[in-house]
Amino acid sequence: MRIFAASLATETNTFSPIPTSRRSFEACFYAPPGEHPDEPKLCTAPLYVARRRAKAEGFTLIEGSCFWAEPSGTVVRSDYEGMRDEILGQLRQAMPLNAVLLGLHGAFIAEGYHDVEGDILERVRSITGDECVIGCEYDPHCHMTEKRIRLATVSTVFKEYPHIDFVERGEELVELVLQTLRGKIKPVASLYDPRMWDFFPTSTEPMRSFVDKIKKLEGKDGILHISVAHGFLHADVPDMGTRVLVYSDDRKADGDRLAQQLGDEIFANRGKWCAPTLDIERAFAQALAHNGRLAIVAEPSDNAGGGAASDCTLAIHKLIERKVEKAAVAPVWDPGAVEFCMMAGPGARMPLRFGGKVAAESGPPVDAEVEVLATRHAGWQMFGSARVEVGDTAAVRIGGIDVILISRRTQAFGIELFTQLGLDPWSYRLMVLKSAQHFAGAYGPLASLIVSADTGGCCPQDPAKHTYAKLKRPLWPLDQQLEGRMLV
C-alpha cells in the first residue's frame, strides 16, 4: 500500500494590506520531502499521523512538500502555481498510489484562483485517477466548496475553535482513509449550505454543547463523520460562508437529512453563537469596572491570524491616556522596535517609537519613554501541541503598561509570550490580546472577564464592514430573505 502526503496552506484575507508570496511561506514554514520535523504543525497533521501509522502498519508513506504562511493578502499567482506544481511533480513521481493525504487550510486564495484547494484537488485527481482515495483536512475557517467535496473521497475539519484538535482530526482522517482502502467503509458526502456566516467559538456556549452533540452522533446509525466549516469572512470569494458536512457509510439520504437538520439548527441560532464585539471605549469601560481576576480585551480586528498587521496602536494610546495600571498588550509586531530593544538591552530607559506602521488602520505610532524589561532571541509560544515562533522579542514598560513586541508576525496563543520574558501573566489586571479566539485556550483560565473590541483593522467581526464583489448572495447577516440548500 502506497500513500502520498503533502500540505499547502494559508488563510488569505483579501482585504489585508500585507502581500503574500513564496517568500512568506519560506519565512513561516517550508519542509521539503522528508524534512518535516517530528512534531505536528497546524495544517500538516495528516502527514505527521500517517508517518506513525506507516511505521506501525507497514505501508509506504511518500512525503511531499509542506508549506504554511501566516495569514495575509492574496497569494502571487506564479508563486502559488510554483508551490502547487512542486507537490504535483512529487505526486507524479510517487505513482502508483492507493491514497493521497492533503493538509489544507481551505481559505488559500491566489491571483486568478478563488478556490485554490479545488484547483489542487482537480489536478491531483487527474493524476491519480478515480480509484485513488483522497483525504483532506481543513481548518473550519475555510470556504468549503462543492468542487472540493466532489473531488475528494473524505475530508475532516477541526471541530474546536481554538483549534486544539488538529491532530485528533488528522488521526480521524487517516483512519477513515485506511478503512476505505481496506473496504470496511464507503464514505458518502452530504454538504449543506445554511446561507449564512457567523462566529463560532467552542470555548463558550452554545457552540460547546453543539460540538459535543455532533461528536456523539458520529460512529452511530451509519454516520461516519460530521464537520462544521465556519467560513472565513475576510475573503471576497463566491463560496464564503458556513457549511455542514456529513459523511455517511453509503447512506446518502440519512446523511442529507442530518446535514440539513444541523445546518437549520445553526441558522435558527444565528447571531447567538458568540458575544457581540464592542467599540474600544465600551470594552475598556467594562474591563476597568470589572472587579475580579484578570479582564481580557481581545482585539480580533487586528488579529495576525486573520491577516492583520498586529501593529494597531489604538488600545495602547487609550491605556496611556487613562494611565491604567497593571495592564499589558500583546503581541505588537514591530521588528525594528524589537531590534532597538535588543541593542539597548534589559534595564535600558529610552525613547522608543513603535507600532502604527503597516497601514492607515494601524493608527499613529506610539512615541514614549520606555523601560526595556527583557529581551529574548528566537522566542516562541505554544498553540495546543504546536510550537509557534515569534522571533526576537522584547517587553517594554510605559508607566503601568507592559507591551510585548515581536519580530515574527503572529497572534496571541500561549502565555509563553510573557513567561519567556520573565513576566507573570497572573500579575495583570487588564490584558489586551491581539487575537480573535485562539488565545482562549491558554489565557481563558486566567481571566474572569473576556470581551472583544473592534479597533478598525482588516479583520472586523461583522461582514457588513467589508465590501464584497464576488460573494454569492443572499447570505445572512447581509441578507434576510434566504433558504438553505444541499450542495452535495
CB of 76 to Zn ion, least distance (A): 23
Return the number of the residue (141 or 234) whose C-beta is nearest Zn ion. 141
CB of 163 to Zn ion, least distance (A): 6
Return the number of the residue (153 or 435) whose C-beta is nearest Zn ion. 435
Largest CA distance in the chain: 69
Return the number of the residue (158 or 443) whose C-beta is nearest Zn ion. 158
DSSP H helices, 95-165, are 116-128, 146-151
Return the number of the residue (199 or 247) whose C-beta is nearest Zn ion. 199
Distance of CA 268 to the CA centre of its chain: 25
CB of 349 to Zn ion, least distance (A): 40
Does residue 139 bind Zn ion (CB under 5 A)? yes
Query: What is the rounded distance in angstroms from the CA atom of residue 1 to the CA atom of residue 178?
Result: 10
CB of 248 to Zn ion, least distance (A): 26
Return the number of the residue (317 or 434) whose C-beta is nearest Zn ion. 434
Q: Are 450 and 217 in contact (CB under 8 A)?
A: no
Give the up-direction half-sphere exposure of residue 306: CA atoms within 13 A in the CB hemisphere.
25
The stretch among 69-77, 136-144, 282-290, 356-364 that binds Zn ion (CB under 5 A) is: 136-144
The stretch among 135-143, 317-325, 401-409, 417-425 that binds Zn ion (CB under 5 A) is: 135-143
Return the number of the residue (168 or 371) whose C-beta is nearest Zn ion. 168
Query: What is the rounded distance in angstroms from the CA atom of residue 288 to the CA atom of residue 48?
Result: 44
CB of 240 to Zn ion, least distance (A): 14
**CB-closest chain residue to Zn ion:** 141
Query: What is the rounded distance in angstroms from the CA atom of residue 99 to the CA atom of residue 118?
Result: 17
The stretch among 59-67, 141-149, 194-202, 407-415 that binds Zn ion (CB under 5 A) is: 141-149
Binding mask 260-289 for Zn ion (x = CB under 5 A): ------------------------------
Query: What is the rounded distance in angstroms from the CA atom of residue 418 to the CA atom of residue 433?
Result: 12
Does residue 334 bind Zn ion (CB under 5 A)? no
Directed axis angle between helix 314-321 and helix 280-289, to 10°? Answer: 50
Q: Are 256 and 477 in contact (CB under 8 A)?
A: no
Query: What is the rounded distance in angstroms from the CA atom of residue 381 to the CA atom of residue 428?
Result: 19
Return the number of the residue (165 or 392) whose C-beta is nearest Zn ion. 165
CB of 89 to Zn ion, least distance (A): 29
- What is the enclosing helix (H) or strand (E) of 7? strand 2-9
Does residue 70 bind Zn ion (CB under 5 A)? no
Q: What angle do CA 397, 398, 400 make, to 5 degrees?
A: 85
Query: What is the rounded distance in angstroms from the CA atom of residue 468 to the CA atom of residue 471?
Result: 6
The stretch among 92-100, 138-146, 296-304, 330-338 that binds Zn ion (CB under 5 A) is: 138-146
Does residue 141 bind Zn ion (CB under 5 A)? yes
SS3 content of the chain, % helix, strand, coil (to 5): 30, 30, 40
Query: What is the rounded distance in angstroms from the CA atom of residue 31 to the CA atom of residue 316?
Result: 37
Return the number of the residue (106 or 118) whose C-beta is nearest Zn ion. 106
Q: How many residues bind Zn ion (CB under 5 A)?
A: 2
- What is the enclosing helix (H) or strand (E) of 63? strand 60-68
What part of residues 30-69 is at the interface with Zn ion (CB under 5 A)? none
Does residue 402 bind Zn ion (CB under 5 A)? no
Binding site residues, Zn ion, CB under 5 A? 139, 141
